[in-house]
Chain A
């Protein structure tokens, strides 16, 4: 069975790169290859020009697996101390750095003293994230990083990733939580049947085409053809209901013109927001179906 086939990707330094795709698509296998835990039958994986097997690469790599496989007999603190030592971090800094990591992921001293086997799923996920950060990684691989976390935990994880990205850490996120991927990632690979079907830019720049969702306080006035108004301003009407319009615009300037034209035609706009869920459509309809 071929888990991956003809995959070719380049992830740029400091990028937050997402990998999405249906179950069994090969996402975790791809991550295993990037980490050097799996070796491809053919082809090469290079991290900074080195093999992912290289222990020097491992020393600056953090990994949070999807399946939380921790030494359950240890306390949370001991688990982090163990990985801090395995990551060849200085002994003298161990206690301070472990305490800092626990605080960063929102685990209390009391939580840290408990055996890992007593942890809830959300606590395990926080501990896993702290473990992935022990070596101050330059490359961070997160497989479903917020799975099982409460909303507070998910926000905390997002802030950590944002902060790491600002400091130049390259982050690879494999997740089914598309909204999260859309918010965090600069680029996203859509993997299906072991192939990279497309690489998308979810948060495209200001000049990129996008879909606006426009809500109105009342139905469009009689005699006004919203399709014609939108087209005259440089957009195209993708759909409408009694009190909403879905408009495709090629850039910011067209968006402003469309909104002005609609207001000028008497449409009482109360809200206009860029439509999210692009990755969701990509997921459901495939690369050709996404706007």
Chain B
């Protein structure tokens, strides 16, 4: 881990006004819905709203450095390519985990203010799940950002997610189990999540959840490192 890259990435992510604007919108909308929707209903701080926030904050986290060429100066320093990828991931994950955790607490506070207090245990679960979501989706963003120069990975991710969703719907409609499962795999890859229900007394624990989550994160980071390790990196941005 290279903390200089982590700190600089956090500063760089916060340097653009456009990104701040998107962040405020995506942070604020679930709060607005929590305040406006009928009390007790599940607010729209859904996984996909969180995903959008993470994708927007992370857009171009590596790809912009590849297309501008700044990555070459960083890699001419004593920084390995895997260290670079992990540092980018940690920076993005920490930033978005913080935002999502604050958002979860704020939504709980609004619910409490509207007369539907969230139990402390449930709140802890929501915050932890948001943190895991941030770390998982950040790994996927890092992978796509390494694969696609510039900040175009956002559209690639959107299309991939949309493709997975449509595939799942098609499978359900035609009752093609394999297609349904394939669509589900694609969409769950795009936003790795960990259901902490079993830990909080919500059913039996199985290893499939943590294993699936960790394998997705590992695969995404491994692909990013592998792709940045290719020999023709210098020409990637030209």
A35 interface neighbour in B16, B76, B232, Cβ under 8 Å: B76
A69 interface neighbour in B4, B8, B70, B231, Cβ under 8 Å: B70
Contact check, A71 vs B78: say whether CB atoms are below 8 A apart: no
Q: In this complex, what residue of B is CB-closest to A64?
A: B73
Contact flags B202-238 to A (C-beta < 8 A → 1, else 0) = 0000000000000000000000000000011110000
Contact check, A86 vs B4: say whether CB atoms are below 8 A apart: yes
Contact check, A71 vs B70: say whether CB atoms are below 8 A apart: yes
Contact check, B4 vs A37: say whether CB atoms are below 8 A apart: no
Contact check, B76 vs A69: say whether CB atoms are below 8 A apart: no
Contact flags A10-49 to B (C-beta < 8 A → 1, else 0) = 0000000000000000000100100101110100000000
Cβ < 8 Å to A, chain B residues 1-56: 2, 4-5, 8, 12, 15-16
Most central of A38, A58, A69 by chain B CB within 10 Å: A69
Contact flags B47-74 to A (C-beta < 8 A → 1, else 0) = 0000000000000000000001110111
Q: Does B174 contact A (CB under 8 A)?
A: no
For residue B68, which residues in chain A have a CB less than 8 angstroms away from its CB? 69
Contact check, B78 vs A69: say whether CB atoms are below 8 A apart: no
For residue B162, which residues in chain A have a CB less than 8 angstroms away from its CB? none
In the complex where A38-B232, A38-B234, A71-B12 touch, is A55 in contact with B80 (Cβ < 8 A)? Answer: yes
Contact check, A70 vs B76: say whether CB atoms are below 8 A apart: no
Q: Does B75 contact A (CB under 8 A)?
A: yes
Distance between Cα atoms of A58 and B80 in the complex (Å): 10
Cβ < 8 Å to B, chain A residues 38-91: 38-39, 41, 55-56, 58-59, 61, 63, 65, 67, 69-71, 73, 82-83, 85-88
Contact check, B8 vs A37: say whether CB atoms are below 8 A apart: no
Q: Does A131 contact B (CB under 8 A)?
A: yes
Distance between Cα atoms of A86 and B68 in the complex (Å): 19
Question: Could you name 26 residue pairs across A and B whose Cβ atoms are closer than 8 Å?
Answer: A29-B234, A32-B234, A37-B75, A37-B233, A38-B232, A41-B231, A56-B78, A58-B77, A59-B78, A63-B73, A63-B76, A65-B69, A69-B69, A69-B70, A69-B73, A70-B70, A70-B73, A71-B12, A73-B15, A82-B8, A83-B73, A83-B77, A85-B4, A86-B74, A87-B77, A88-B78
- 10 more CB-based (< 8 A) A-B contacts, given A58-B76, A61-B76: A29-B234, A55-B80, A58-B79, A59-B78, A63-B76, A67-B69, A70-B70, A86-B5, A86-B77, A88-B78
